[in-house]
Each structure stands twice: as C-alpha cells, then as structure tokens.
Amino acid sequence: MHGLRSATLALGLALVAAACSTSGRDDTSSLPSTSSTTPTTTEAAVQAPGNLPTGPSALADRFHPDLPEPLVDPSEIRSGGPPPDGIPPIDDPTFVPVAEADAWLADPEPVILLELEGEARAYPIQILIWHEIVNDTVAGVPVAVTYCPLCNSGITFDRRVRGVETTFGTSGMLYNANLVMYDRATESLWNQLDGRAVVGVLTGERLDRLPSVVVSWEELRRTRPTAAVLSRDTGFRRDYGRNPYTGLDDPDGTPFLFSGRLDGRAKAMQRVVAVDDGDRAVAWTLEAISGSGPTVTVGEIGDEPIVVFWQPGQASALETDDVSGGRDVGDVGVFTTTVDGRVLDFEVRDGAFVDTETGSTWNVLGEAVGGPLAGTRLEPVTFVRTFWFSWAAFRPDTLLVDAPTS
C-alpha cells in the first residue's frame, strides 16, 4: 500500500514539475513558467543591493569554497525535481473580494489569513499548492507568504533582510523534505520552516515571522468579510482546486523525499501544532487537541500560560485529489491568556469558547465576540501546523504532547 502511495506521490510531483516547465503563463505555451521578476543567475557571483554582502551564489553552487560556513550539510539539501523557480512564485498578485472568491472556494478549504494594521488578506491553499511563495506587500510591509506541501507548513515572513527588501523564489531543492527558498538579492538558501539562511553569503540570518494563520474559508468569510482574496488570475495555467499530492496526508504513511531520522514519539505523518519561543518548543498532536466539537487545551511556553483553541470545519488539502475533499482537521488558534493583567481560564460552553472569569465568548481567532470583553483580542502566539517528522527534524528537543492512549 505504501509503495502505491509513493508511486502516486512521485507521479503527482512529476505532474507539478511538468506543469511548471511546459504549461506556462496564460499568454504563451511555449515558454517555461519561471518567475516574472529577476531570473536566476548562472554566474557564481551575485552583486547584492544595499548593504547586503556580495559573493558567490549558493543557488548556483552551494558547495562553493568561498561561501561562509553553512549551517547544514549542503549535501543534505537535495533536488525536489523542478529547477529554480520551476514552481513559479507569484510576484504580482491580484486580489478579489470575498463575494467573488466564494464562487470557487468551498467552505472547508484552507486559506492563509494575514492581517497587518487592520488590512486582511487571504491566500487560498488551492493556489499556493502550485506556487509555494507569494511575494506581496500588505499595509506597506513587504511579505512572503509561503507554503510547503510536503510538510504542510504555511508560514509568512517579512521580506526585508538587514533592512533591504528582496523577493523570494523556489530553489527547486528540499532540506528535510522542507521547501528551500532563495532570496533574489544574494541567492542564499533559506529553510522555510525556521526562516533561516543556511547556505550562502547571508548564512545565519533569520527572517521575521508574521502572525498568519490557516483557517477554513467558511471561518474567514464569516469573520473577515472585507478581506482581499488572492485571485486565481495568477498569470499561470494551473488546475486550481486539485491536489497534485493525492494521498500525502496519511497519518499512517511515511514522509515523501525525507531521508532524515524519524522521532518515534509520534507517527511521522501525524499533524502537530508547534510553538517555539526560541528557547523552548512545544508541539501538540492533532489528536491531543481535537474532538467532536470545539476544544480548549491549556499549556505554557516558557513561563507564559497559553491556550489552544480548536474547532472542526477545515479540510485537509493533501488527502484526496480535491483540496476541499480531505478529512476534517479543524481550525486552530494559539494565544496568551492574559488580558489587562488578568489571566483568563477558558472552557467550551454550548459549543463556544468562553472565559470563566467574565463569561465572554470568543472565536478561534482569539476575538471576544460577546459578553463584557466583547471587542477584546487575545495576543496571538506564533505557531506552525505541520507534520511531526518535519518539525522534529528541525527541533528534536521539542516537548511533545500527545493524546493519552486507551
């Protein structure tokens, strides 16, 4: 069975690569679907802008002797199949209103919600699954909205490095089966999961994470009706809505294109919600935080009490051939529990998240929608939803919280 699954995934990856190399932009079918901005260099040296260092391109040669000491073994960065920007990032995104996007987004579909300075934007996974990176600007902030299908990790970064704005492309390579990005200023290589430059002249730099969250389309439509939604009019021909990685999300399966050590504390492909404050990391399996209805899970990171809200309604994008057709994996929010100096306790009451101190009701985005605290927002905690094998490979010292065995 696993052999058939691996063959199916390999075929899916081949189809992605084929789509990226032969089914190009809407205005031509004869050109490769490479990025619409600066093409990748074939030269060893890159002239970087601003105060960024100039030196060899790690994208062209990650083993170049003049590069700084890498943070990972370059030989463990492996090809995923497509060439650089063969999976084309979206560099000139356009957006449509929620009402227009509702015609092609199903209620349980996952979307990445990003809010900055009151400006809300939604990036459907059905689009990101084919492009992996959207270079955008939201409320004046240059951002890279990223999604790695093999790890199921959706993460948003500030695109500025040492104060210099750049854009990011797909290198065509993987590290621990995770998307390896490259910046177009120096062509250094970056891990998506932790936002670090691991090979190149910027080795050791880390991108600032921005507080985005993956929610169901239904939840976004209900709570952010004025959000701008990434349009399917991307400039590329893709079968948006179809999952080219059918069968990838299998809790009993094995990771695809991963050759690292597996952490046996949980199944490799179990979904986890992971929090990392830089010193400590905690991860909860989906089974530990989910239920037949909304759930509240308490924890702490460092000495800070936090709460995990979970509610049903979001489909796995990576299980069936339809992005909206997978099993229910739910929406998640993670927050600190202190409001105006008071620590709140939460429970589920009549299907709603409620704090026991005031009786106010809250939504999965951490907003009080009823009661004395209506209009208050909990402080979000940055977290990642991904597969256990991937998170454990990057943070093997993680404290794992799993559901009790019967």
Q: Provide the pLDDT confidence category of residue 24 given band limits of 50, 70 and 90.
A: low
The predicted-structure confidence for 162-174, as pLDDT tens digits, reads as follows: 999 999 999 999 9
Give the model's pLDDT for residue 112.
99
Give the model's pLDDT for residue 302.
85
Same domain, 283 and 376: yes
Residue 38 has pLDDT above 50, yes or no: no
CA-to-CA distance for 134 and 132, rounded, in angstroms? 7
Residue 242 lies in a domain: no
Residue 342 lies in a domain: yes
CA-to-CA distance for 219 and 310, rounded, in angstroms? 12
What is the average per-residue pLDDT within 223-249?
98
Count structural domains, the chain: 2
The predicted-structure confidence for 145-192, as pLDDT tens digits, reads as follows: 999 999 999 999 999 999 999 999 999 999 999 999 999 999 999 999
- Identify which of 237, 321, 245 has the alpha carbon closest to the alpha carbon of residue 19: 237
Q: What is the rounded average pLDDT for all residues in the chain?
A: 92
The predicted-structure confidence for 57-91, as pLDDT tens digits, reads as follows: 999 999 999 999 999 999 999 999 999 999 999 99
Residue 110 has pLDDT above 70, yes or no: yes
Residue 251 lies in a domain: no
Same domain, 268 and 332: yes
Contacts of residue 142, defined as CB under 8 A and 6 or more positions apart, other chains included, come to 135, 136, 158, 159, 160, 165
Residue 26 lies in a domain: yes
Give the model's pLDDT for residue 36.
37
Same domain, 33 and 147: yes
Q: Which domain holds residue 352?
A: 262-401
Look at strands 153-158 and 368-370 and give their pairing: unpaired
The pTM assigned to this predicted structure is 0.91
What is the average per-residue pLDDT within 228-245?
98
Residue 268 lies in a domain: yes
Same domain, 16 and 146: yes
Q: Provide the pLDDT confidence category of residue 51 given band limits of 50, 70 and 90.
A: confident
Residue 70 lies in a domain: yes
Contacts of residue 303, defined as CB under 8 A and 6 or more positions apart, other chains included, come to none
Residue 292 lies in a domain: yes
- Identify which of 82, 76, 69, 39 has the alpha carbon closest to the alpha carbon of residue 197: 69
Same domain, 208 and 354: no
Residue 27 has pLDDT above 60, yes or no: no
The predicted-structure confidence for 259-312, as pLDDT tens digits, reads as follows: 999 999 999 999 999 999 989 999 999 999 999 999 999 999 988 999 999 999
Same domain, 197 and 75: yes
Give the model's pLDDT for residue 9.
61
Same domain, 282 and 225: no
Last residue of a domain, one of 182, 205, 229: 229
How far, in whole angstroms, is CA 355 from its chain's centroid? 30
Same domain, 34 and 139: yes
Same domain, 22 and 158: yes
Last residue of a domain, one of 171, 205, 229: 229
Residue 248 lies in a domain: no
Same domain, 306 and 218: no
Which of 5-14, 20-29, 54-63 has the lowest average pLDDT? 20-29
Same domain, 39 and 162: yes
Same domain, 358 and 290: yes
